[in-house]
Structure 1
């Protein structure tokens, strides 16, 4: 089910990014939010972080938030 969700998120965000109305900071923020959700799913389910110590999970999610903020902030 996670794989199907990743496929749907990828297809939806690709379609949205290629549409004519997809311009500006709001679009970047939306696409990066979808990317953050996909990173969470990959990390928890395919990298087995759901069984990792709390500190590793916190570092992983902190990295996602920092990168999201940098990309959206500079766009």
Structure 2
């Protein structure tokens, strides 16, 4: 799709790409905040982990076509994302 067209952001792929780029920038900023001690290290690291799992879900849903997959595969992927993210957060923050 030509990005010059008015409806370019209506395409889910373009919007997902913008969200991925934006979340990458936020993750970079959090990493920089950790190094310069502008934010509590544990909170910033937890934020980076959450962003990483949100990006993983978005890539699976949009670019790996899970939005068109059978319900059991979609929800299995969702459950996996939530379970692994929760386990890592519990191990890190606990």
- Tell me if both proteins adopt one fold, taking TM over 0.5 as the criterion: yes
Q: How many matched pairs? A: 74
TM-score w.r.t. length of structure 1: 0.85
Contact 1:2 1:41 in 2 (8 A): yes
1:65 aligns with 2:82: yes
Distance 2:86 2:45 in 1: 11
Whichever of the two has the greater Rg, that structure is: 2
Distance 2:55 2:40 in 1: 20
Contact 1:28 1:72 in 2 (8 A): no
Distance 2:40 2:73 in 1: 35
C-alpha deviation, 1:33, in angstroms:
1.9
* Matched residue SS, 2:89: helix
Q: Which runs of 5+ in 1 are unaligned?
A: none
TM-score w.r.t. length of structure 2: 0.70
Stretches of 4+ moved more than 6 A in 1?
A: none
Give the match for residue 23 of structure 1.
41
Distance 2:44 2:30 in 1: 8
Instruction: Point out which structure has higher relative CO (alpha carbons under 8 A, 6+ apart).
Output: 1
How large is the RMSD of aligned CA atoms in angstroms?
1.4
